[in-house]
Chains A and B, each alone.
Chain A
Amino acid sequence: MTDTTSETVRVGELGPTGAFERKAQDAGNHRVRNLLILAFVAFAALWPLVHENTFLLTMGTLVALSVIGATSLHLIIRTGHISFAHAGFMGVGAYVCVLLVMKLQLPFAVSLAGGAAAAAALALLIGPVVLRLTGKYFVLVTFLLGEIIRMVFVEWTSMTGGSNGIFGIPAPYPALAEPHAFYYFALAAALLCVGFCARILTSEVGRAMDSVRESERVAQCSGIPALQLKVTIFVIACALAGVHGALLAHFLHYVDPSSFGMVDSLNLVVMNVIGGMNHLIGPIIGSVFLTILPELLRGYVELQRVIFGIILIVVMAALPGGILELTARVRRLLASRRS
């Protein structure tokens, strides 16, 4: 009997000395992390109640929506590819959903699924080709792809209304015409999306994504179907981008090609870079930061872009791991104080 117990201790992943301490410390870190997540969600849930300002409420909704886009792009980044076409896929989801609602009078839920499916289908068509490229070539090709998609929105006037866009998009459901209701709707969608991405990243698939990012060839010869894995993740991520676009269009009651260009794709990438590319929390921090910062700088219209750029450069130079690195540094500082 004693034999089996000592065996299970040994099997329990960690070796004799120091290991248990580390495990306890890990558990402590997890507790801190869970508390922080809980606090963040509670704050988001109570956000509309702490003030009467509709502008702040709108900001909250936009942050929640961009969390969907940024975290879905994060999935692609975690396989080692930085896509500059993500806003294009948002646009596909947005236009398809809006057209299904307005031209075919389909219910919103069905149209939303249709928009996501259209973005996913395009990703499935293009993914197997572009995901063979790496590094700057992938960046370049997806950049062009995003522009091609945007040009289609501009040129296909009969369907998309061209540069004028489509006006008078109804709220998804009459009840969601009320801003508070839409805020909670967007928050729920964002939480669902983050939960889904976290589930993927913490699973065996997440480890496989890490291995493909580190070395695709070594991953392949360890038996991982690298291309198939990357295409699957790309398709899922682009479907989520489609959801982001569709919800955004129905929130703003308006859609035009200028929301789905190069700058918007770049914004989603920067959200990941600024927040931190190594953890799912990074793009969430980035979304908050990048949605709110331009609004804070509204007062200095002529200098807005300049200040914005300087802040980005400073953050990236000081914190290569993104804002998330700040927490790691604080933790290290506390640990060194303690010892």
Chain B
Amino acid sequence: MPLLALNNLNVRYGQIVGTSDLSLSLEAGEILALVGSNGAGKSSTLKAILGMAPYRSGKILWQGKDLKGRKPSEIVREGIGFSPEGRRVFASLTVLENLNIGAYSRDANEAAERIEQIYTYFPRLRERSGQRASSLSGGEQQMLAIGRALMSRPKLFLLDEPSLGLAPIVVERIGDILKEIQAREALAVILAEQNANWALALADRAVILELGQKTAEGPSADLLRDPKVQSAYLGI
């Protein structure tokens, strides 16, 4: 049984199409990139998995269980972490408080242990622990958003546009850390990205989306060599 399976998912916002008949599946520990331009349906897919986007038909199966009708907070408890687009952190809270939000209503000792782990992944966050999140740089805020989502020890991590508005060197750094976390915790990741070069380099497998539809799918290495993908997304 795959860790997560989407079967013919149709996300609709009124008349507007989010995804149409999208099917994909993911094994434990795998990194899947969702590549596509603005409005291709990347965010809609992630939001639907987390129970935050309405879908008219289709199924989302998490370890074989249908997630339809479950609240986001319940889905997070099931083991799915989400870091939304635009590095959303709670500006008025400190770094430490932001991280603690990610472990809400869990055992305090366990949360403290987990924070230590997150701090070893992101040493910058430890240095900034007592500062308000609003005082962090863009890259640090993205790290904090990732760290907060990982606080709940997810099995699957949904990451929406982590490279948006960040300097290339910071993007590379975040990619390295993601790889390290993924290897260490056998974490499955769905990475929604417009930066196809970076996403395909990071992912095992990728799905290319256009207007909510899957137009290509396969191992990242194959897609990187595909002439159509190269011309449309890689600028080659």
A interface residue numbers (CB < 8 A to B)? 10-11, 13-16, 19, 22-23, 204, 207-208, 210-211, 214-215, 217-226, 228
**B93 pairs with A15, CB closer than 8 A:** no
**B126 pairs with A222, CB closer than 8 A:** no
Known: A224-B101, A226-B73. A215 touches B96 (CB 8 A): no
Whole-angstrom distance from the CB of B75 to the nearest CB of chain A? Answer: 9
Whole-angstrom distance from the CB of B111 to the nearest CB of chain A? Answer: 9
B interface residue numbers (CB < 8 A to A)? 50, 52, 71-74, 76-77, 82, 84, 88, 90-93, 96-97, 100-105, 116, 126-130, 148-149, 152
Known: A211-B90, A215-B90, A218-B84. A223 touches B130 (CB 8 A): no
**A219 pairs with B101, CB closer than 8 A:** yes
Residues of A with C-beta under 8 A to B74: 225
Since A10-B126, A214-B90 are in contact, a sample of 4 more A-B pairs with Cβ atoms closer than 8 Å, ordered by chain A residue number, is: A14-B129, A15-B128, A208-B104, A225-B71
Cα(A100)–Cα(B69), bound, Å: 43
Residues of A with C-beta under 8 A to B126: 10, 15
**B92 pairs with A214, CB closer than 8 A:** yes
**B101 pairs with A222, CB closer than 8 A:** yes
**A223 pairs with B84, CB closer than 8 A:** no
**B102 pairs with A222, CB closer than 8 A:** yes
**A222 pairs with B93, CB closer than 8 A:** no
**A11 pairs with B72, CB closer than 8 A:** no
Known: A13-B129, A210-B90. A221 touches B97 (CB 8 A): no
* A10 nearest in chain B by CB position: B126
Cα(A15)–Cα(B126), bound, Å: 7
Q: What secondary structure prevails in chain A residues at the interface with B?
A: helix
Cα(A220)–Cα(B88), bound, Å: 12
Known: A204-B104, A207-B100, A217-B52. A223 touches B76 (CB 8 A): yes
Whole-angstrom distance from the CB of A46 to the nearest CB of chain B? Answer: 37
Cα(A222)–Cα(B81), bound, Å: 7
Cα(A225)–Cα(B116), bound, Å: 25
Known: A15-B128, A16-B127, A215-B90. A220 touches B72 (CB 8 A): yes
Partner of A13, one of B71, B84, B96, B102: B96
**B73 pairs with A225, CB closer than 8 A:** yes
Partner of A218, one of B90, B96, B129: B90
Known: A208-B104, A214-B92, A215-B88. A222 touches B149 (CB 8 A): yes
Whole-angstrom distance from the CB of B83 to the nearest CB of chain A? Answer: 8
Cα(A23)–Cα(B129), bound, Å: 12
Instruction: For the complex of A and B, list the 10 residue pairs with the smallest distance between their C-beta atoms, beginning with the closest.
Output: A223-B76, A15-B127, A225-B73, A220-B72, A221-B82, A218-B88, A211-B90, A14-B130, A214-B90, A13-B129
Whole-angstrom distance from the CB of B112 to the nearest CB of chain A? Answer: 9
Residues of A with C-beta under 8 A to B100: 204, 207
Cα(A220)–Cα(B101), bound, Å: 10
**B116 pairs with A11, CB closer than 8 A:** yes
Residues of B with C-beta under 8 A to A10: 126
Whole-angstrom distance from the CB of A106 to the nearest CB of chain B? Answer: 37
Residues of A with C-beta under 8 A to B97: 207, 210
Residues of A with C-beta under 8 A to B84: 217-218, 221
Cα(A127)–Cα(B169), bound, Å: 48
* A16 nearest in chain B by CB position: B127
Q: 18 A–B contact pairs at CB < 8 A?
A: A13-B129, A13-B130, A14-B129, A208-B104, A210-B90, A210-B97, A215-B90, A218-B90, A220-B52, A220-B71, A222-B76, A222-B104, A223-B76, A223-B104, A223-B152, A224-B101, A224-B104, A228-B73
Residues of B with C-beta under 8 A to A218: 84, 88, 90
Cα(A298)–Cα(B103), bound, Å: 53
Residues of B with C-beta under 8 A to A226: 73
* B125 nearest in chain A by CB position: A15
Cα(A14)–Cα(B74), bound, Å: 33
* A22 nearest in chain B by CB position: B130
Whole-angstrom distance from the CB of A322 to the nearest CB of chain B? Answer: 16
Residues of A with C-beta under 8 A to B93: 207, 210-211, 214
Looking at A22, A218, A221, which has the most chain B CB atoms within 10 Å of its CB? A221
Residues of B with C-beta under 8 A to A11: 116
* B73 nearest in chain A by CB position: A225
Cα(A217)–Cα(B148), bound, Å: 14
Looking at B92, B101, B116, which has the most chain A CB atoms within 10 Å of its CB? B101
